[in-house]
């Protein structure tokens, strides 16, 4: 069983829709939770990170962590075609980039 599970999609939604992307994990020691966005033919870039449980909002993006259920989510409000990308969840038990475990990524397409 993988430590981090993520539905690969693809997920296709119309412009303006609310998008929900999710990951589950098995290691209860994970404390740092991240979402990376990867455009086609580009490297991933950090979109959001949260520490421990709770919500974090940044513009149209909200990251949510439920440690009791070992479940994290990324919500995108008022989705735009420019949001079309692969979204990778990532998590770590320690504050070191060398210990980050990545999900396999969900491919998202926003239809104009």
Q: What does the H/E/C string look like for 79-94?
A: CCHHHCEEEEEEEECC
For position 71 contacting other proteins by CB under 8 A, the verdict is no
Distance in angstroms (rounded) separating the CA atoms of residues 2 and 89: 13
Q: What character string, x for contact with other proteins (CB under 8 A) and - otherwise, covers 22-41? A: ----------x-x-x----x
Shortest separation between residue 112's beta carbon and other proteins, angstroms = 26
For position 49 contacting other proteins by CB under 8 A, the verdict is yes
Of 15, 18, 19, 17, give the one whose Cα is nearest residue 112.
15
Shortest separation between residue 78's beta carbon and other proteins, angstroms = 26
Of 61, 67, 60, 30, give the one whose Cα is nearest residue 48.
61
Residues that bind other proteins (CB under 8 A): 4, 6, 8, 32, 34, 36, 41-46, 49, 51, 88, 92, 95-98, 100, 102-105
């Amino acid at each position: 069983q993988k430590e981090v599970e993520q539905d690969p999609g693809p997920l296709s939604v119309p412009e303006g829709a609310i998008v929900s992307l999710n990951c589950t994990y098995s290691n209860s020691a994970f404390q740092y939770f991240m979402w990376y966005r990867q455009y086609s033919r580009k490297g991933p870039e950090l979109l959001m990170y949260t520490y421990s449980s709770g919500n974090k909002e940044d513009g149209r993006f909200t990251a949510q962590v439920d440690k009791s259920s070992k479940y994290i989510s990324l919500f995108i409000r008022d989705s735009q075609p420019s949001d079309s990308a692969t979204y990778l969840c990532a998590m770590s038990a320690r504050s070191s980039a060398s210990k980050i475990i990545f999900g396999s990524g969900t491919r998202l397409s926003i239809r104009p």
